Structure 1
C-alpha cells in the first residue's frame, strides 16, 4: 500500500523517520509524480505495469520506460516537511528491473532540494546526489554514486559493479554523519568506506614540496655496467656474409648481367651488439622520494555527509532500449524499512519472478520447437508432392511397350 507521509517509529530507542515512500500500488501515482515539459528534448512516457513476469500482478506494479531512444524526466516532491540531513543518516533505496535485458541506459535516481522546478527538470538541473545502476555495452556496468559539493558533481573514485540480469534488484545508499557510506544491492554490502577518501571533496592533505629537488649526486640506478668487463677481440662480426656454397650460373654474362655476386646469408658467427655485464651499483641510494609538506589549501570538512535539505526525488535518464521498471522508492533516516523491503524481495518477489520467467522461457522453447517441427513436416509433404509428379517405373515400361508395338506395325 502506498504511503507518502512522514512517520516515525521507535527502533531500539532511536527515532526513525520515513520521509518518502512510493510503491506505485495504485494508479493515483500519476497525481504524485510530475512529468517534465522541458523544451528541446523528446521525453518518453512511463507506464504503470508489473511487466512480463512477476510475483504479484498488482503488488509488483511499478513505472516502466515505454519508448526506445528517449530521455525520461519524472519527479515527485515530499508531501510534508523536507529531510534535513544534519546529524542524520540518509538512506536512499529503490528497485530496478531491466526486464528488457537493457543494452544501454540509466537506471538511477536523483535527489533534489526544495528549489526543484519539476515541470522543467532536465539533465542540467542541479541535484544533491545521483545514485543507481548505469549500463552501456559490455564495458559500462556500474553503480553511480555522485554527490554535488560546492556546485560540482563528484563521482566516486571506485568502480562498483551493478546487476545486469532481467530481474528486480534493490539498490541502497547509506550516508552517515561520521562521514562514512555504504552501498548495498539486495541487502548485501558491495562497497563502503570514507567519504573524504573515496571522493575528491577536498584538496589533498599534503603536496610535494615545491622547494625540494633531487640532489645532483643522487644515484638511483640499482645496477651499472661492469667496468672490468671488456669486449672480446673476435666479437665484431658482420651480420650477413656471402653464401660460400653459391656458384655463378653457367649462363651468367658479365657484360649483359653485370659482375656476379653471391647472395647474402646470415653469419653464424654474428653475436649482435656487445653490452657489458651488469653489477650491483655500490653508490645506489634507492629511488628518490619527493618530500611532502602540508597543503595550505586543505581545510577539513566534518560535514561532507550533509546534503542540506532534501525535498524531491526523480528519474532523469536516457535509455536506448526501454522496458526498465522502477519501484519501491524510499528515502529515510534509518534502514529499518529498507531492510524489510529487501526481506520481501528475497523471500517472495525474486523467487516468483524467476519461476514465472523460467516457465515462460520453457513455453517459448516448446512453441519454437513445435513451429520448427511443423515447418519440417510441411517441407516433407511438399517434397512428396514434387516426387509424385516424376515418371515412375511403370510409366517407363508402358512407354517401352508402346515403342515395340509401333515398331512392329
Structure 2
C-alpha cells in the first residue's frame, strides 16, 4: 500500500510541475457554429473598417496563452468598428441571443462597452458607420460618474410620430459595481424571446428580466385606454377633503381689530431730546435765483441744512417709542377645519378605449439586423472585447459559452487529470496502475481463498473452524457436483486440494511482502 502512495505522489508531482505553463497552453480556438448569424473570437484577422485606435492582442493578465481580443486603445476618443452578419436576422418565431465578453483592463471612469445590432437597409454602409447609423438593439455595460448600468434599448418607428424612438428597459435591481471595478472579464448575455420577454445575464447569472410590452420606457405602442376628453366634472361634485366646522362659533373675547404691533410702554423719551426742534431747517443764507419763474418753476424753497441746534442734542423732532408684538392680538377668526362628510374624492375623467391603439397581435416590429457594431466613447482605454455571438438557438449559445468562456473557469479534479494526459500520455498507465492496484490488493487480502465459480464446486469453500460434513458420494444423489460434470466423488483428494490452496495463498502473501520490503530498502 505504501508503494501505491509513493507512485500516486510521483504522478501528482509530475502533473503539477509547471501549472502556470500548462494553464496558459490550454486555450483552444472554438469552432465557429454554422448556425450562428455572427461569431467572432478575434484570434486572428485584420481590422479594416474602424475609427479610433484598435488592436488585436492578449490581455495584460492573460490566463490563456494565445487568446486574443479586440482592444480599444486610445482613451478620450470616439471609436467605431462594424461587421456584416452572414445573413440578416429577422425577428420572427425564434429567439435572439446576443452575448460577448468585456474586460476593463484599466478600470473605467466614464464610457460604454455596449454593442449595437445595426438595422438592415439599402443605405447601410459600414464605411460610414457612426452614432447616427440606425440600429434595432443596443445592449451592454455603461458607466459615467457613480452610475453603473447595463443598457438594453430597442429602437423602432413610432407609428404616430413616424420617427425612430428609443425605448429603454428598466435597470437591474442588483449592484453592478464589481463587474466594472474588479478588472476581470465578464460575459454579457441577452435573450429576447418571441413572446417579447427578455432576460439579461452576467457571467451566466440572471440579473434582470421583463417584457417589451410592460417594462420599456417610454411604453411600446399607445395605451389601450385613455381619459375621455369630453367628460366634464359635475357641478355638485365635492372634492374638498376638509371644510370649516359649521358648529364652531367665535369666542366672545376675540378682538379681530386689535393691532399686531403696539408701542412699547416700558420705554420713555430720553432726556435732552429736542422734540420742538426740526432735524433739518431751510438755509437762511440761500438766495432765490434771479431767473426763477414761479409760473414755470413753481414756488421757490430754500435748500434744507442740518439744524445747528441739534448738533449737540441726543435727537430732534417728534419722538415715538419702538413697537412690540401685541399680546392681545389674535387676528381674524376662522372656524377650525374638519373632515368633509360629503367628500367624493378627486375627480378625473372616465377612461375610454383608445381609438389610436393597435390591435395588431404582433405590436413589436423591430427592423431586421444586418450588422453588428461597436460605436463608443470612452475616457479610459484598454477595454477588451471578445467572443461575440449572435444566434437564434439556445443550444448553440450554450455550446459556444462552454467552448469560450468555459475555458477560463477553473477545471475540476477529473478534468485536470484528463487534461494532464495531453502532454504526458504515459500518465494513463499511472492512472490505471494507481486505481487498479489497491483494488487487487484489497480483494487478495480480504478474500484470499475466493475463486470465481459456483459455490457447489469442490474447489469453493468458506474458511471456518466449524466441522464440515462430508459430501455425499452417491453418484445418483442430489449433489450438484454431478450436475456440473464432476467425474468422481469428493473424498481425501478434496482435503489435499484445500491444503495446496492454503499453501499457494501463503506463498503469494510472502512474495508481496518481500516486494514491499525491497522497495523500502531501495529508497
TM-score of the two chains, using structure 2 as the length reference: 0.57
2:103 matched to which residue of 1?
A: 97
Matches within 5 A, 1:338-357: 338-339=397-398, 349=408
Question: 1:316, CA displacement in angstroms?
Answer: 1.0
Q: C-alpha distance in 1, partners of 2:259/2:62? A: 78
1:135 matched to which residue of 2?
A: 143
1:77 matched to which residue of 2?
A: 84
Residue 254 (structure 2) aligned to one of 217, 222, 234? 234
Residue 108 (structure 1) aligned to one of 97, 108, 114? 114
Matches within 5 A, 1:245-256: 245-254=266-275, 255=277, 256=310
Question: 1:245, CA displacement in angstroms?
Answer: 3.0
Q: C-alpha distance in 1, partners of 2:273/2:400? A: 94
Q: C-alpha distance in 1, partners of 2:32/2:409? A: 28
SS at match of 1:164: helix
For the structure 1 residues 242 and 178, does the alpha-carbon distance in structure 2 shift closer, same or farther, using more than 3 Å as the test? same
Question: 1:299, CA displacement in angstroms?
Answer: 0.9
Question: 1:81, CA displacement in angstroms?
Answer: 3.3
Residue 341 (structure 2) aligned to one of 270, 282, 285? 282
Q: What's the CA shift string for 1:105-159, capped at 9, x where partnerless?
A: 2211011245431111111111121111222222x43222222223613222523
Q: C-alpha distance in 1, partners of 2:116/2:55? A: 20
Residue 184 (structure 1) aligned to one of 201, 212, 217? 201
Question: 1:203, CA displacement in angstroms?
Answer: 1.0
Q: C-alpha distance in 2, partners of 1:273/1:90? A: 72
1:303 matched to which residue of 2?
A: 362
1:209 matched to which residue of 2?
A: 228
Q: C-alpha distance in 1, partners of 2:94/2:198? A: 12
Question: 1:295, CA displacement in angstroms?
Answer: 0.9
Q: C-alpha distance in 1, partners of 2:398/2:264? A: 83
Q: What's the CA shift string for 1:66-100, capped at 9, x where partnerless?
A: 1122111101223x333333210001111222233
SS at match of 1:130: strand
SS at match of 1:81: strand
SS at match of 1:128: strand
Structure with higher RCO (Cα < 8 A, 6+ apart): 1
2:375 matched to which residue of 1?
A: 316
SS at match of 2:180: coil
Question: 1:297, CA displacement in angstroms?
Answer: 1.1
CA RMSD of aligned residues (A): 3.0
Q: Is the 8 A contact 1:62 1:325 kept in 2?
A: yes
For the structure 1 residues 290 and 230, does the alpha-carbon distance in structure 2 shift closer, same or farther, using more than 3 Å as the test? same
* Bigger Rg, structure 1 or 2: 2
Point out where structure 1 has 5 or more consecutive residues left out of the alignment. 8-16, 37-42, 352-409
Paired residues in the alignment total: 330
Q: C-alpha distance in 2, partners of 1:129/1:83? A: 12
1:386 matched to which residue of 2?
A: none
Q: Is the 8 A contact 2:229 2:349 kept in 1?
A: no
Question: 1:177, CA displacement in angstroms?
Answer: 0.8
Higher normalized strand content (fraction of residues) = 1
Q: Do residues 224 (structure 1) and 243 (structure 2) align?
A: yes
For the structure 1 residues 228 and 71, does the alpha-carbon distance in structure 2 shift closer, same or farther, using more than 3 Å as the test? same
Question: 1:188, CA displacement in angstroms?
Answer: 2.5
1:153 matched to which residue of 2?
A: 165
